[in-house]
Structure 1
Amino acid sequence: MIKKILYTTLLSLSFFAVSQENSHEISASLDMDKNLLHVEQKIMYHNTSKNSLTSIFLHNWSNSFKNNNTPLGKRLIKDYKKDFYFADDKDRGYSKIHTLTSNNQELDFQEVRNQNDIIEIQLNSSLQPKDSIAISANYTIKIPKAQFTGYGKTGDGYHLRFWYLTPAIYQNGWQLMSNLNMDDLYENVADFSINLDIPKDYYLESNLYQYETEKANSKNYYLIGKRKKDIILSISRRNKFRVFKTISSQIKTDIFDKRIDLTLANKIVNRQISFIEDFIGTHPHVEILVDGNTVNKNSLKDIYGIPNWLRPYPENFKWEIRFFKALTNKYINDVLLLNDRKDYWLCDGIETFLMMEYINKYYPDVTVFGRFSKIWGFKSYNLAKLKQNDRYSFFYQFSARRFFDQPLTTRADSLSNFNRKVVSQYKAGLGFKYLKDFIGNDILKKSFKQFYKNNALELTSSETFRKILESNTDKKLDWFFGDYVNTSKKIDYKLKRVQQLKAEDSLLVTIKNKRNITAPVSLYGIKNDSIRFKTWVTDVDSVKTVKIKAGDYDKLALNYEQIYPEYNFLNNYKKPNNAFISKPIQFRFLKDIEDPNYNQVFFNPNVKFNLYDGMILGVNFNNRAIIRHNFDFSITPNYAFRSENLTGSFSLGYDHFLEESKIYKIRYGISGSNFHYAPELSYNTFSPFVNIQFRRNSLRDVGTKFLLSRIVYVDREINPTDTEVESDKYQILNFRYIYSKPDVIKRFQYAINGEFADNFTKFSTDIRYLKFFTEKQSFNLRFFGGVFLYNNSEGDFFSFGLNRSSDYLFEQNLFGRSERSGLFSQQFVVSDGGFKSFFKTPVFANQMLLSANTSVSVWRWAEIYNDLAMLKSKNQNAKFFYENGIRLNFVPNILEFYFPIYTNEGFEVNQRAYPQKIRFVITTSLDRIYNFLRRGLL
């Protein structure tokens, strides 16, 4: 007790000592019935700039939960989260400022325009350099539910972060940033003194030194700390934090596995602290709070999300790695004061690098799938051999191959979520691994320590780190701090040629730079998968030939250890005699990671069904590795058991990416198929195509725009007794433009379609709009308009259909393509008029069709639909149709049922054979089912 009082007294004395540090004195009381926090706060602000200030800005992030129009509210919608948008006011939050004064004089203040979580205070007199001002604030915080951002009212208490008023940083102007749910508030360190009363049966933990006093019906906590920032308060009915003590620090955490022995856990934590200190230095604070919210919300769920009962990893591995990630995050971000909106990559890179080094030291042989990698049938796959540290370059390459990666200097609020949480972190960490191998581990470690020590608890930037690193090495690092950090250029070198000089017992090795970044490249001599020599080659801007000594190795390789992230490593190998490395064909079931030693062909079962072919079984052969190639093929031979015929399909395609253009990708290809469209009658399709996909304004945009152009050749088999007509053999030139904006609240898309054939030309548009008015209830509108510019075709095969089209382009997955009655005729696919009801005679239009389809949610997956249509055929008056009914939308586009109620022909329910009027949507497309499941899991 005496020790605690003495420690508190010493901190208090130093707290009130004259210094240039900002300080916060806070007295707060918690109203748990109304989820209100009443705050009295005194801010001592020091002007450390060279300018006189007439105003001061305070970050007031508690007010970011006020409504949907705040930067946070808009950001959550962009992140495809709609729970906050539809939340009740009682579940939201706000900050209500009652008074702001200085020297007992009121201060004028206002919210910054379009940033209601930032306050601008007009000073009564200018604040000169090195002067200070005391600002007193009286305000009330309404605490929101924690489900929105992880901070707020939890199930058993409160987890508070970014809750108090804090001055913005003045550094080349005011550095203002609104809360965007990225936990990146740029704030300076300050001295804190906090008094807080909470109910007696609750516990409090924080990242400050704390002293507890029990009262009759409550507990008082006195919290104090010097040169701290980002004060977190965890208030809970149960004491869920464990405390681990090391030589220099006390670590409080709620990331703990109760099945782990406490002695062992303490040993692991001490080992991790020693490991981190060895690389970057000692943490300046005694108290370190490692909370689960921090690590959970800023990383995607990965393989460590595997249920515990499966136990794929070594004992305690899952907890140990998760805790190390959280510990390094707090260890670095508590101490290095960088603007994380601009310089996030430096801290993220150091954290990822430390994780790779930790795994390499203690768990070098643990694979991504753990003990599952040893399962028979899977253990021979390259995917099963993927080590924990291999996943960093794998995920980077996964994104880079599709050109979805972004420069590391992209503002954090402009990064896609996948890049912010995974790819950019991995690229930054791989960059430091690259530097470690190129300049040496000792130099990199020395630079880390120097940067950490010299800039601890001081405002700094990545430019400061650059100067330190460059001063510690003679090697040029312009390539790293230039193209590697500032651009999304990809590294891709190729071993072009090897020439043997027998007279000199040496080799001339020619290396080609296939892309537009010049970076060091590692050259290896390999024998029996063992490294015999390694050297670095620099300044390969286009083609460079180097001389090496001939040796005992059977092949040469670039980037053999995959030290640096590379766009394509399949062209990195050559034999010393310059002979072509034979690549035998390797067949793999399902998919695998690409292997540079083989030409891989993947195969998987293919199951289809239609009424005329019956059950269709086959095998799909393709070259689509987990990371796709630009060129891909897919061939699917099938056997149809009912028609007893061979059927199938094929496609060949090449993706051409344009890096500096409004066009993102052009895909060229051909496809074709053969199946039956009627009993004992088959069809063949053949279609060359060009698909242009346009670039999004940014990777945070979720919309797509693309233009498809193709020629569809169709040859339909006919009965020997029938005469061939135009609908049996035809070709159609098709152009289609599609725009889609799938916003989480309002979704909008439209398609414009043009078809040119020998006997007709037609245009149509399909416009769809979806608006959610509660989290689970929505209104859906579809408009279709189609017109023939001219039409000399016979019959209605190419006409617009009210409730079903002929699908003459063979795009729809129909079980009974030619059926006009029976169960298979009741399958529904949205097309043309989009009506669900059957009429006594089929309804087609050979001149014009306009229709509107609407549906409104009434309860869970039950909806009411209403449709209207106008049809016009040549030499006929316009006809009008309407219908309504009930839609059971169990799984959209996968499992749906339509029950018509009322149409032009009256009430449908009391008519004969009503079950035959029910329409259904059932798909056998494994791709569609997989994509739906994937959206639900990610």
Structure 2
Amino acid sequence: MRPLVKKILLFLSLALFSDLIYGQESYWQQEVNFTINVSLNDQDNILEAFETIEYINHSPDTLQYIWFHIWPNAYKNDRTAFSEQFLKERRTDFYFSKPGQKGYINQLNFKVDGINATVVNDTNNIDIIQVLLPKPLAPGSKTIISTPFKVKLPYNFSRGGHVGRDYQITQWFPKPAVYDQKGWHPMPYLDQGEFYSEFGNFDVEITVPSAYIVAATGVLQDAATLQELKEKGKHTADGNTKVWHYKQNNIHDFAWFASKTFIVQYDTAVLTSNKIVDVFSFYKPQSKGWKESIAYAKDGIRRYSGWLGDYPYSTCSVVQGSKNENSGGMEYPTITLITAQETGKELDATIVHEIGHNWFYGALATNERTHPWMDEGMNTFYQKRYETEKYPPTLSKKKSFLGNETSTDEHVIFETLAKIKKDQPIETSSTDFTTTNYALAAYYKTSWWMKKLEDELGRDQFDKAMHSYYSDWKFRHPYPDDFKTSLEKAAGKNLDSHFSLLNKMGSFDTTQKKSLKPAFVFNSLDNKHNYINLSPALGYNYYDKGMIGGMINNYTLPLPKLQYLAGVLYGTGSKKLNGFGRVSYNVYKRNYHVSTALSYNSYSQNDFTTADNTKLILGVKRWVPSVKLTLFDKDSLSTRRFVAQWKTFLLNEGALDFKTIYTATDTFDRVTTINNRSYINRLSLSVSDNRVLFPYSLTVSTDQGKDFIKTGLTGKMFFNYSDGKSGMSARFFAGKLFYLKPATTLVRFRNDRYFLNMSGPTGYEDYTYSDYFIGRNEFEGWQSQQVMERDGFFKVNTALLGNKVGKTDDWLMSLNLSSDLPDNINPLSILPIKIPLKIFADVGTYAEAWKENPASGRFIYDAGIQIPLFHSLIDIYIPIVYSKVYRNYYKSTITEKRFLKTIAFTINISKLKLQDVLKDIPL
């Protein structure tokens, strides 16, 4: 063997041998120890502080810089990752917050071993910086980093800040990002998406006005104050300020809370190992339901310790925070904040869930941002085990813990999302989850996955494996592969197939074909059956009067592919039987949805009384076959969609037939009813984005009838006002009608109802019967004042003219504006029931206005007051100013009760959409 070859082989052998020897010892993690002195100025809501950091480089790499998180800057302006994510969560409170409600961190002056350090701002996030080290930090070396800092505390939009004089001080100090085997992990502060920080020891002194009680991470060092809190639930307020000194080892974060009104409870939890844990509860005087909080905390500590291993610290505190509808609580080492308002079992579950994070997050410090399931989902599994064992189902109830017969709300919503291909895999980062899927996949589905793992291994073997995982990785940073390896080693079993489920969409439910079962009104959330729902049905229109009947449907969650609804209604006025129904078949894919449907309606739409006092009722039968394609963005977080839809309206309308009858001795008129058949083909294309700021839609719709083609473009946009609650909606319409044959007088007369209208069309002009009208063909009375949103959508109407103002068989354009009025100038705000008020304005033009001697000016307008009722299910419009042509019409035509007769209203049944009711389900 050649000498060179021998040397190469020897080198390779040594390298391989070295990997075998040191491969198992390759894990390392950095150590970051903090000393912080901080003072609270409760007049200006400011923290002034100084921190000293001992950074020990246990990595095999030489460090040239250290990434730092300065997360208070997330609240500095509306261009941060936090602000952008809030908008995606449909929250505008921070975006429109006042300058005084925002927060920031400044007055930083980093020194490394006493030498001024250069700071480089991250190019994308103002809450991330890079501190350049004056000299490289070699493996095994340490350095001392110090800086003063000042924090302007924000209003408590997310996890930290203040509400009045109650303080939640979280994510408040400059903190190094994690450096591990995968590299650096700098990350901006987010509301959805938690944290990843280095372990170390904390020594923190907190100076506050003496009236405050402080609850904080770690062990209070002042023995006298600690004893007072334990025995009296309060402390002696001597002097102007008081220092609260806390220490805690082996943690990766520090949080504290301050209030003048805290009630303090204290007890101890004794574990089976005889370890004693001090347990504190801090809550507000009016919160009677919190008296049991200390008992809930103790019970959770004991049970989790038995299932996983001893509680990792010597103290545990539970703090009641201000109400937060978007979060039940938030965990920090040794302390948790509870913002849910429940009591009893619900409060118990929330407290125990947050305390459980001392295992899953506190000791097992996973990367929560990238792998949220490793803390939230695992912890949810144990929370559900806790609830099931502590509050077992009664004999009258079925089981309720995962894999059971009775479905929970979260299970139903998850199964629905999975069925329509809108769920996401468990192994998804926090930033890529939709808000709904974050709760369902990271929490609920993971707990289900854990239950399946428990069932596969058996509870005893599963608990031993989880004990081993906790023991192996306590106070370390495990990744999913580490968790899998630990379990396989403890269980002695290959778990590849089970762990592969983490990356898959869909349900774990293996239930086969379900049997049919009738249910009255709606189903009872039994996951074993497909339900046929039976319910009463009611209706009303001017001609049928009250209608009563029943309907049958299979609309239930999860949504079936084949959906149907059918019903009958008896008209008490018309004495006729009416019907309605719809059947659709749906194909759900991740990026599109195809629905093929057929609907049917029949009801009375007009009446007529003959000379001999015979009342004739005219009905309509309407069949609508349709195909609808909805395309979604590949980005799951996007709210934009494209819709293409084809509908054919097949109509059979009752009409009057007037005939003159001649006899040998007399001549008389006879009125009978006939049926007119017609059709309309409609193709519509639309793009919309239902984002929380400036949502919009753009629709091009083309109708084709026997004699014409009519096309229209409708654009809508909502402009948010700075209060975050109100705004102005704008609607633009442009339409054009084309004849398919010569436009003779007869052809024009025959197609009159299809013309473009500047005014909102009446029931007669709703030629596809797409809107609900109380008195569809009334020309007098309040029913005649109903219009629909289409074409020009002016709120003034000249229906009694032979040739309506703004009606055209050529082209038409209009702009409609509607703006909210502030409550302080809304005269209806004095009412006990809140009724909002808006102002509207319309301007438009049409073909005839540009011809010689037009009846109106080239541009016409109207404006007035709008009263939206029931979230605009009904809108009432009171025109106040309008063009001269309308004024002349009202003066000459309407002589009595002129003001009342100018009022128009719409009834928008289309507002009652399934996706508006089921907001968590992106239909």
TM-score band by shorter chain is 0.7 to 0.9
- Per-residue deviation, 1:594: 5.3
- Per-residue deviation, 1:228: 1.5
Match of 2:730 in 1: 781
How does the TM-score come out when normalised to structure 1?
0.80
Q: Deviations over 1:502-533 (max 9, x none)?
A: xxxxxxxxxxxxxxxxxxxxxxxxxxxxxxxx
- The verdict on how the C-alpha distance between 1:142 and 1:622 changes in structure 2, with shifts beyond 3 A counting, is same
Deviates more, 1:431-440 or 1:182-191: 182-191
What aligned pairs does 1:234-249 form with structure 2 within 5 A after superposition? 234-247=257-270, 248-249=276-277
Q: Residue 921 in 1 paired to residue 921 in 2?
A: no
> Distance in 1 between the 2:553 and 2:97 partners?
47
- The verdict on how the C-alpha distance between 1:382 and 1:809 changes in structure 2, with shifts beyond 3 A counting, is farther
What aligned pairs does 1:433-444 form with structure 2 within 5 A after superposition? 433-444=451-462
Q: Tell whether the 8 Å contact from 1:717 to 1:728 is kept in structure 2 after alignment.
A: yes
Q: Deviations over 1:407-451 (max 9, x none)?
A: 111111111111112343111111111111112222221221111
1:103 aligned to which of 93, 113, 120 = 113
- Per-residue deviation, 1:769: 0.9
Match of 1:693 in 2: 630
> Distance in 1 between the 2:842 and 2:116 partners?
62
- Per-residue deviation, 1:392: 5.6
1:23 aligned to which of 28, 33, 38 = 33
Unaligned segments of structure 1, at least 5 residues:
1-18, 368-372, 491-564, 573-582
Q: Residue 740 in 1 paired to residue 688 in 2?
A: yes
Deviates more, 1:247-256 or 1:345-354: 247-256
Q: Deviations over 1:131-177 (max 9, x none)?
A: 2221111121000011x114211233201110011100112221011
SS in 2 for 1:746: coil
What aligned pairs does 1:198-347 form with structure 2 within 5 A after superposition? 198-212=208-222, 215-247=238-270, 248-254=276-282, 259=288, 268-292=296-320, 316-347=344-375
Q: Which amino acid aligns with 1:89?
A: P
- The verdict on how the C-alpha distance between 1:828 and 1:179 changes in structure 2, with shifts beyond 3 A counting, is farther
> Distance in 2 between the 1:759 and 1:387 partners?
59
> Distance in 2 between the 1:888 and 1:153 partners?
37
- The verdict on how the C-alpha distance between 1:931 and 1:365 changes in structure 2, with shifts beyond 3 A counting, is same
Deviates more, 1:253-262 or 1:623-632: 253-262
Match of 1:702 in 2: 639
What aligned pairs does 1:78-97 form with structure 2 within 5 A after superposition? 78-97=88-107
- The verdict on how the C-alpha distance between 1:358 and 1:920 changes in structure 2, with shifts beyond 3 A counting, is same
- Per-residue deviation, 1:349: 2.5
- The verdict on how the C-alpha distance between 1:125 and 1:332 changes in structure 2, with shifts beyond 3 A counting, is same
Match of 1:865 in 2: 840
- Could you say which structure has the larger radius of gyration? 2
Q: Percent identity of the aligned residues?
A: 20
Q: Tell whether the 8 Å contact from 2:262 to 2:282 is kept in structure 1 after alignment.
A: no
Q: Tell whether the 8 Å contact from 1:791 to 1:847 is kept in structure 2 after alignment.
A: no
Unaligned segments of structure 2, at least 5 residues:
1-28, 226-236, 271-275, 330-337, 608-616, 660-670, 742-746, 824-835
Match of 1:668 in 2: 596
Q: Residue 620 in 1 paired to residue 551 in 2?
A: yes
Q: Which amino acid aligns with 2:253?
A: D
Q: Which amino acid aligns with 1:225?
A: Q
> Distance in 2 between the 1:92 and 1:353 partners?
37
- Per-residue deviation, 1:357: 2.1
Match of 1:455 in 2: 473
> Distance in 1 between the 2:622 and 2:859 partners?
35
Match of 1:399 in 2: 417
> Distance in 1 between the 2:907 and 2:456 partners?
57
- Per-residue deviation, 1:929: 11
Q: Which amino acid aligns with 1:864?
A: I
- The verdict on how the C-alpha distance between 1:319 and 1:342 changes in structure 2, with shifts beyond 3 A counting, is same
Q: Residue 571 in 1 paired to residue 513 in 2?
A: yes
Match of 1:730 in 2: 678
> Distance in 1 between the 2:201 and 2:880 partners?
70
- The verdict on how the C-alpha distance between 1:798 and 1:266 changes in structure 2, with shifts beyond 3 A counting, is closer
Match of 1:543 in 2: none
2:878 aligned to which of 874, 884, 899 = 899
1:767 aligned to which of 685, 704, 715 = 715
- The verdict on how the C-alpha distance between 1:329 and 1:813 changes in structure 2, with shifts beyond 3 A counting, is farther
Deviates more, 1:909-918 or 1:215-224: 909-918
- Per-residue deviation, 1:892: 3.6
Match of 2:769 in 1: 810
Match of 1:851 in 2: 814
Q: Deviations over 1:120-140 (max 9, x none)?
A: 112222222222221111121
Q: Residue 716 in 1 paired to residue 650 in 2?
A: no
Q: Tell whether the 8 Å contact from 1:407 to 1:488 is kept in structure 2 after alignment.
A: yes
Deviates more, 1:757-766 or 1:885-894: 885-894
> Distance in 2 between the 1:242 and 1:218 partners?
23
Q: Tell whether the 8 Å contact from 1:898 to 1:919 is kept in structure 2 after alignment.
A: yes
What aligned pairs does 1:567-606 form with structure 2 within 5 A after superposition? 569-571=511-513, 586-593=518-525, 596=528, 600-606=531-537
Q: Tell whether the 8 Å contact from 1:299 to 1:422 is kept in structure 2 after alignment.
A: no
How does the TM-score come out when normalised to structure 2?
0.81
Q: Tell whether the 8 Å contact from 1:405 to 1:424 is kept in structure 2 after alignment.
A: no
- The verdict on how the C-alpha distance between 1:875 and 1:272 changes in structure 2, with shifts beyond 3 A counting, is closer
Q: Deviations over 1:645-684 (max 9, x none)?
A: 111211111111224xx4x211112111101221111111
Q: Which amino acid aligns with 2:818?
A: S
Q: Tell whether the 8 Å contact from 1:899 to 1:919 is kept in structure 2 after alignment.
A: yes
Q: Which amino acid aligns with 2:877?
A: Y
- Per-residue deviation, 1:926: 9.2
Match of 2:173 in 1: 164
Q: Deviations over 1:211-255 (max 9, x none)?
A: 347652111111211122221110001124433311232233347
- Per-residue deviation, 1:203: 0.6
- Per-residue deviation, 1:880: 3.0
- Per-residue deviation, 1:454: 1.3
> Distance in 1 between the 2:850 and 2:444 partners?
67
SS in 2 for 1:855: strand
Q: Which amino acid aligns with 1:714?
A: L
Match of 1:48 in 2: 58
SS in 1 for 2:648: strand
Q: Tell whether the 8 Å contact from 1:300 to 1:422 is kept in structure 2 after alignment.
A: no
Deviates more, 1:212-221 or 1:223-232: 212-221
Match of 1:430 in 2: 448
1:112 aligned to which of 113, 118, 122 = 122
> Distance in 1 between the 2:139 and 2:120 partners?
24
Match of 1:636 in 2: 567
Q: Which amino acid aligns with 2:532?
A: V
- The verdict on how the C-alpha distance between 1:284 and 1:776 changes in structure 2, with shifts beyond 3 A counting, is closer
Q: Which amino acid aligns with 2:686?
A: I
- The verdict on how the C-alpha distance between 1:254 and 1:645 changes in structure 2, with shifts beyond 3 A counting, is farther
> Distance in 2 between the 1:382 and 1:670 partners?
39
Match of 1:884 in 2: 863
Q: Tell whether the 8 Å contact from 1:353 to 1:430 is kept in structure 2 after alignment.
A: yes
Q: Which amino acid aligns with 2:821?
A: V
Q: Which amino acid aligns with 2:707?
A: N
> Distance in 1 between the 2:244 and 2:849 partners?
85
Q: Deviations over 1:569-625 (max 9, x none)?
A: 2517xxxxxxxxxx675342333335646x632122222222122112221210122
- Per-residue deviation, 1:776: 3.2
Q: Residue 351 in 1 paired to residue 299 in 2?
A: no
Match of 2:504 in 1: 487
> Distance in 2 between the 1:727 and 1:137 partners?
86
Q: Tell whether the 8 Å contact from 1:901 to 1:907 is kept in structure 2 after alignment.
A: no
Match of 1:522 in 2: none
Q: Which amino acid aligns with 2:127?
A: D
SS in 2 for 1:430: helix
Match of 2:780 in 1: 821
